[in-house]
Structure 1
Amino acid sequence: MKAKLTLAWVLTVCVTITWAAAHGQYYSKTVPYSPMKEQVTNLHFFFHDILGGKNPSAVLVAKAKNTTIGDKSPTPFSTVFAVDDPLTVGPELTSEVIGNCQGLYASTGQDNLSLVVYFDFGFTKGEFNGSAISVFSRNPVLETERELAVVGGRGKFRMARGFAQLKTFSVNQTNGDAIVEYNVTVFHY
């Protein structure tokens, strides 16, 4: 009798689980793949990284106690900065703001100034308002021209990949403020 009750209970549980799975809220449908047409967009803007003054756009958030280079550089080895930098049409901070760059950069070069950057470039004006591209790459800032990898995006830049070519427009050697020209090629759908 006990074996029959156990068997009945097991069957009841199996039927209940099967019924719940068949009548649950989860729904999935497989559709044939239809490739989208890839687009190429070229962007040009200026990035303003402001470390000094009353309203900096890049702020030191972490720093190791033992540094090999010392504190003479605005970004000595092992420092991490959080950024919310304006993006403008021209090199002047007073030119039209088209978005902002939010993210982090860490000073990772012991012998030279090199940063590892994670940036999200969010656009707030024009055709790409509400869209963004993500960059994650090494940035050897002392090189006049350099390249960063575009690794993703959202909005009109969904599934983005590409590269950003950077050229330093100006640097304040005292406080580290910098203006960087960006020419970005984005492949997206």
Structure 2
Amino acid sequence: MSSMSPAKHLSVVAMLFLSLSMAVATFQSSVGRTMSKEDIILKTEKLTHFHFFFHVIISGPNIDDVNAALPPPTSTTPAANAFFGRVDSLDTPLTIGPNISSDRIGSMQGVVVGASPVEELAYFMEVIFVFTEGKYNGSTLVMVGRNQATMKLRELPIVGGTGIFRFARGYALTRTYSPFDNKTGTAIYEYDLYALHY
């Protein structure tokens, strides 16, 4: 049985290292590459403003806000805010006016989580505004942030979008138009969205 000489051994190791380096370089070039704005034909940045209402309905035949999880029962003193830890899933209509029968422009889909154990009633929201009308049909805007419902006017960030709103960023202002009504199981919120996009 013959043994490999040190020189031959180094040569084999060098060839293996070279092959591995080439494979990594090939993988990197096929997975990601640096691009310029011209590569994807970005146009002049513009600002779009939307004004609409969304309707939360938790009872009746047209429920659009479903409780997905409640806080676990505990033997300790409960949080001052009973909504802390509650998770709701939404698919609420967006309308031009405050009436549910107003022209619909899309829907707001996402998750709302009770995020504060005190009375300030703050929620973490991760939602997508899905537009279904006119030139915005099929485009979306994503909003993620903290909504302190006890404030008259709240601001949340717009962090992205799709379709017309690719590379979008901006903010949303929201206010309670009609507080939750226990008899009808509904509430209405007013939104102003400001989105920078190409």
State how 1:20-99 maps to structure 2 within 5 Å: 26-27=29-30, 36-64=43-71, 65-66=73-74, 67-69=78-80, 76-99=83-106
CA distance in 2, matches of 1:43, 1:171: 22
Of 109, 115, 122, which residue of structure 1 is paired with 2:123?
Answer: 115
CA distance in 2, matches of 1:18, 1:160: 38
Change (3 A) 1:108 1:29: closer
- Aligned to 1:181, the other structure's residue is in SS state strand
Cα RMSD over matched residues?
A: 2.7
CA distance in 2, matches of 1:140, 1:29: 41
Aligned to 2:146: 138
Of 163, 187, 192, which residue of structure 2 is paired with 1:178?
Answer: 187
Please list every run of 5 or more consecutive structure 1 residues that lacks an aligned counterpart in the other structure.
none
Change (3 A) 1:124 1:11: same
Give 1:5 deviation, angstroms: 5.0
CA distance in 1, matches of 2:62, 2:54: 16
Change (3 A) 1:115 1:24: closer
TM-score by length of 1: 0.82
